[in-house]
Structure 1
């Protein structure tokens, strides 16, 4: 009788532990742009405070407000076509997975105003025309880039 009791108790614990198990899979279908910050492989959106625009990595689209409506486009709004994405700060949305990142627009706009740049962000790629300069700088810099943040905002 004791053996059956122990067996049932074991089955009960095993069943409970299986019900607690969770599987978490993060799939980033898109590749981040070369101007994106280093260190993020499982995010979908950046918020770009300087131009009050979101960038959807998976769909390679900009999401911005125009005439009171949110628009998705493969190009940025005309006034920002000359914007330097390498120099602007990117707020990495690490905690949002839905299709409408702009639901937090008022919060992001207040927290990250135009010109927001708390620290240096290292980008994935080198700005066009800077590749030669970056290569010559590599020979001189032996510090390993210490002291430069990676811009890991948890928003």
Structure 2
């Protein structure tokens, strides 16, 4: 009887360890989220932007948007969204695979968020978990010019961040400003 009880306890404890291990495998991806991403999320697979009916694949640094009847993946937004301000447009975090397959659901769910410009973004947060976005790198991610976030446009949103410094900086639109001491990257002189 003791042997059966021992085997049962051993079996239950091994299942508990397996369940605990599965729960731990959920990873944080704070460092891979772009500076224009919303604050408050330790993990984000996708952002949905209701203003332009577009998704952003956080781990792969790609936009997913509708072109005709097909969903396109790209490192940059298409020209029709050239004036969209990534830092001020609303982004909903979606942690479901391929959310564009349920596009109608997300369009309806977030329709009321169109035109909202009051969402706090990582670049402007001083929360310690976002320190790699602001600690000495002026909001450019890891400071090496590639940003580590929002690839394809050097972490300048869609090249339309005008900021509040009055310089009407449009980031890298047209291949101009490449950073350095120019442009608005969270630092206001």
Report the TM-score, using the length of structure 2 for normalisation.
Answer: 0.59
CA offsets 1:21-79 (integer angstroms, 9 cap, x no match): 32231234971111001122322100000000000111111001111001001111211
1:14 matched to 2:15: no
Other-structure match for 2:114: 115
- 9-18 vs 45-54, greater mean Cα deviation: 9-18
Higher relative contact order, chain-length normalized (CA < 8 Å, sep 6+): 1
In the alignment, the residues of structure 1 paired with residue 120 and residue 2 of structure 2 have an alpha-carbon distance, to the nearest angstrom, of 58
Root-mean-square deviation (CA), in Å? 2.3
* Kept after mapping to 2: 8 A contact 1:30/1:58: no
CA 1:104–1:30: 2 relative to 1, 3 Å: farther
Other-structure match for 1:124: 122
Q: Which has the higher Rg, Structure 1 or Structure 2?
A: 1
Q: Structure 1 unaligned runs (5+)?
A: 134-155
Other-structure match for 1:102: 100
Q: Structure 2 unaligned runs (5+)?
A: 125-160, 164-183
CA shift at 1:116, angstroms? Answer: 5.4
CA 1:29–1:120: 2 relative to 1, 3 Å: closer
* Kept after mapping to 1: 8 A contact 2:45/2:57: yes
CA shift at 1:11, angstroms? Answer: 1.9
* Kept after mapping to 2: 8 A contact 1:30/1:57: no
In the alignment, the residues of structure 2 paired with residue 44 and residue 37 of structure 1 have an alpha-carbon distance, to the nearest angstrom, of 12
Q: How many residues align?
A: 125
